[in-house]
Structure 1
């Protein structure tokens, strides 16, 4: 018996939540703290933090 194929659903978040998370990380909050507070994936926050620092 095979299982039915399901597509991956990406999390939806607002640009404002991302900006707030980035400013919080810039002000000293850790990535692991900021991601759940602003309901963002940790990898997304990390990727944007790395983009802004380069």
Structure 2
């Protein structure tokens, strides 16, 4: 028997939390520390950090 299909639930966050996390990373906070503190996915923070540095 096959397993039932599960849909992925995305983590909800605010733009304010994202901006706070980006400023914290800019102020020398580690990305791995900033993501859980501001309750954001690490990949999302990484993507926005890479976009702002280019």
TM-score normalised over the length of structure 1: 0.94
User: When the two structures are aligned, how many residues end up with a matched partner?
Assistant: 54
State the alpha-carbon separation in 2 of the partners of residues 3 and 25 from structure 1.
Answer: 40
State the alpha-carbon separation in 1 of the partners of residues 3 and 25 from structure 2.
Answer: 41
**Cα distance per residue 1:1-54 (max 9 Å; x no partner):** 221111111111110000000000001101011001000111110000000010
Unpaired runs of 5+ residues, structure 1, are: none
Moved over 2 A (4+): none
Unpaired runs of 5+ residues, structure 2, are: none
TM-score normalised over the length of structure 2: 0.94
